[in-house]
Chain A
């Protein structure tokens, strides 16, 4: 009965409107490059202070889930992830758009985001307390291996230039170490420049590396930005639903991966998307299509990053440890509301928690119509805008988006310079994705490595520290499979063919 009461409370007209408004606001903010889900939630948090705790949570959850999905638009249509969570969406989303399937990619992303969001919310509803304890079992070394697992995706993104991709990954890792060292506070690789002391801001770097080269290439020819289908196909919902049904295992697996990564404090949607993409590619029959416009790639990343929303709330609500950066903002807002998070929250204030969880389900379901409508107009606008207006608009968005991250004009200059470097490197076969991967995963990898090394050295058990823990071993096995699995399968397949001949 209590469950029904909470469900009805979540469905109240006020909460319905908050969920709808939150999803719309989040989707629009998330689609603007530079405005992350964290920023979307942070900007709108003050509105929630005068609300009931459950309503406040529903609004913040809706903004968060909408913003994570909104990042897919710019990732697909202009090759610039609106939020870091949508990085891996660019790998196949933009090629799909270039091939004239941008409308299909946007619809697929919407369906995948809804599925991911629902799976994450379901885990939050039924498995929150036991899953939160799994997060506590992750130590520095597990984070290190998780980052390496993300980096193993470089092999998949190498486009036949494995050494160059690895070199790009190394460059990204080095870029991530510019500034004040997180572990020991030494100032590194700044060469006396004050501008670099704060390090390279990840979101501005990825805006530069992904977006500026596209703009540079766009102005070089009078060709259209995206291939336009001869006749409008609408949102292609039927086609997208058929593809989603065929890829249902990929969707569910990616959603579960997203939830699990979301539970890990600090990991976030970008890592979830990358890990899910890697797994989708590893298990796919059409591996050679990944990176060239495989719908499975878009499905994997978009379901995984939205699943982190529900997953991230698990440690936030059960342990008081934010699972993702937006969760940290939401946690702060809850403390202002006087809600005491912790293991007792699910019993002492169960009406708030369960009303919120049902509200999250509601917001996720509302994302389908909202996402499809906004997506349709986003796509038709992008292909209808003349190049002479599209290019300066996108360029201006990169400038204002980058500036607003840290209110820094230096970040804007660094973004443009990195974009120029990315364009030059691209001409010589060094793609941007491995550099971005290195940049994003660098700090997690370094922190995990140095801490694990210190603990291992202090306990005189370095090998045991890195290779003796069960979760680490499971992740290492996944890394090995990710790197060598496809080659092994090909070799075995060739062997079988030869024996049958």
Chain B
């Protein structure tokens, strides 16, 4: 019985990305004035490009150990992953505007909703937000007051 085999295209794709990064690094090193500055990154970038080519050769002759199947992502929640990443990036960008405390509260709530799989019972509806406020507030006080870290105050308020 013939078995339909799908070719793993992720390996050459990733190799191409690494080659591109290496090429960009080498191009950037041409602008440095001192040999001490470019010797190291240029050498490493060259080695990385060579390794990428070696990886593609390995893939071509079929020696490459099987990579993780990226398709497995489909079995899990992609929107939740993206939501978490977006919430964290948004928190980093909004911090100077909203201040650390406000951003922390909003980010905590957003990520809590993202990670929530259990049904919202009245108990959870009250306890989880209160716990979130206590955690964010507690860490804020620890860092801002006890450890004297100058957390951003925000410019919008």
Looking at the assembled complex, report how far the CB atom of B73 sits from the nearest CB atom of chain A, in whole angstroms. Answer: 7
Contact A400 B143 (CB under 8 A): yes
Supply 4 further A-B pairs (C-beta < 8 A) apart from A43-B147, A161-B65, A392-B111: A170-B51, A388-B118, A404-B143, A416-B85
Contact of A181 among B36, B89, B136 (CB under 8 A): B36
26 CB-based A-B contacts, threshold 8 Å: A43-B148, A163-B51, A166-B47, A166-B51, A167-B55, A171-B21, A173-B44, A188-B32, A212-B85, A216-B81, A217-B76, A219-B83, A219-B114, A220-B73, A221-B77, A222-B117, A388-B112, A388-B118, A395-B111, A396-B111, A399-B107, A400-B143, A407-B149, A416-B85, A450-B39, A450-B40
Chain A residues, CB < 8 A from B37 = 181, 183-184, 186, 188
Contact A404 B117 (CB under 8 A): no
Interface residue? B25 (CB, 8 A): yes
Contact of A396 among B39, B96, B136 (CB under 8 A): B136
Contact (A416, B55) CB under 8 Å given A391-B115, A392-B108, A428-B67: no
Chain A residues, CB < 8 A from B80 = 219-220
Q: Which of A217-236 contact B (CB under 8 A)?
A: 217-222
Q: Which of B51-81 contact A (CB under 8 A)?
A: 51-52, 54-55, 58, 65, 67-68, 70, 73, 76-78, 80-81
Contact of B132 among A177, A389, A430, A449 (CB under 8 A): A389
Chain B residues, CB < 8 A from A221 = 76-77
Chain A 415-436 near chain B by CB (<8 Å), digits 1 or 0:
1110110000111111000000
Contact B39 A392 (CB under 8 A): no
Q: Which of A43-95 contact B (CB under 8 A)?
A: 43
Interface residue? A413 (CB, 8 A): yes
Contact B104 A171 (CB under 8 A): no
Residue of A nearest to B35 (CB): A184
Interface residue? A454 (CB, 8 A): yes
Residue of A nearest to B117 (CB): A222
Chain A residues, CB < 8 A from B151 = 400, 403-404
A171 to B29, CA, bound (A): 15
Contact A396 B104 (CB under 8 A): yes
Chain B 90-109 near chain A by CB (<8 Å), digits 1 or 0:
01110110001000100111
Chain A residues, CB < 8 A from B117 = 222, 387-388
Q: Which of A191-246 contact B (CB under 8 A)?
A: 191, 212, 215-222
Looking at the assembled complex, report how far the CB atom of B29 sits from the nearest CB atom of chain A, in whole angstroms. Answer: 8
Interface residue? B122 (CB, 8 A): no
Looking at the assembled complex, report how far the CB atom of A248 sits from the nearest CB atom of chain B, in whole angstroms. Answer: 36
Interface residue? B10 (CB, 8 A): yes
Interface residue? A99 (CB, 8 A): no
Contact of B70 among A387, A415, A427, A454 (CB under 8 A): A427
Chain A 364-375 near chain B by CB (<8 Å), digits 1 or 0:
000000000000
Contact of A163 among B29, B58, B85, B116 (CB under 8 A): B58
Interface residue? A382 (CB, 8 A): no
Contact A219 B115 (CB under 8 A): yes
Contact (A446, B40) CB under 8 Å given A186-B33, A409-B152: yes
- What DSSP secondary structure best describes chain B's contact surface? helix
A165 to B135, CA, bound (A): 38
Chain B residues, CB < 8 A from A177 = 40-41, 44
Contact B84 A215 (CB under 8 A): yes
Contact (A170, B47) CB under 8 Å given A186-B33, A416-B92: yes
Contact of A219 among B28, B81, B128 (CB under 8 A): B81
Chain B residues, CB < 8 A from A219 = 77, 80-81, 83-84, 111, 114-115
Contact of A400 among B52, B96, B104 (CB under 8 A): B104
Interface size, chain A (Cβ < 8 Å): 66
Contact A453 B54 (CB under 8 A): no
Contact A404 B147 (CB under 8 A): yes
Looking at the assembled complex, report how far the CB atom of A402 sits from the nearest CB atom of chain B, in whole angstroms. Answer: 9
Interface residue? A164 (CB, 8 A): yes
Chain B residues, CB < 8 A from A191 = 28
A184 to B100, CA, bound (A): 37
Looking at the assembled complex, report how far the CB atom of B152 sits from the nearest CB atom of chain A, in whole angstroms. Answer: 7
Residue of B nearest to A398 (CB): B88
Contact A220 B44 (CB under 8 A): no
Chain A residues, CB < 8 A from B67 = 161, 428-429
Chain A residues, CB < 8 A from B10 = 428
Contact (A183, B118) CB under 8 Å given A170-B47, A399-B88, A409-B96: no
Contact of B104 among A170, A189, A399, A415 (CB under 8 A): A399
Chain B residues, CB < 8 A from A400 = 100, 104, 139-140, 143, 151
Contact A412 B148 (CB under 8 A): no
Residue of B nearest to A167 (CB): B51
Chain B residues, CB < 8 A from A420 = 85
Chain B 112-140 near chain A by CB (<8 Å), digits 1 or 0:
10111110000010001001100110011
Interface residue? A329 (CB, 8 A): no
Which among A163, A188, A404 has the greatest number of chain B C-beta atoms within 10 A?
A163
Chain A residues, CB < 8 A from B83 = 219
Chain A 353-388 near chain B by CB (<8 Å), digits 1 or 0:
000000000000000000000000000000000111
Interface residue? A476 (CB, 8 A): no
The 6 closest A-B pairs by CB, nearest first: A222-B117, A186-B37, A220-B76, A170-B48, A184-B34, A391-B115
Interface residue? A13 (CB, 8 A): no
Chain B residues, CB < 8 A from A454 = 36
Interface residue? A397 (CB, 8 A): yes
Looking at the assembled complex, report how far the CB atom of B52 sits from the nearest CB atom of chain A, in whole angstroms. Answer: 6
Contact A391 B85 (CB under 8 A): no
Looking at the assembled complex, report how far the CB atom of B90 sits from the nearest CB atom of chain A, in whole angstroms. Answer: 9
Contact A428 B70 (CB under 8 A): yes
Looking at the assembled complex, report how far the CB atom of A179 sits from the nearest CB atom of chain B, in whole angstroms. Answer: 11
Residue of B nearest to A402 (CB): B92
Which among A388, A390, A446, A454 has the greatest number of chain B C-beta atoms within 10 A?
A388
A35 to B143, CA, bound (A): 10
Interface residue? A160 (CB, 8 A): yes
Chain B residues, CB < 8 A from A155 = none
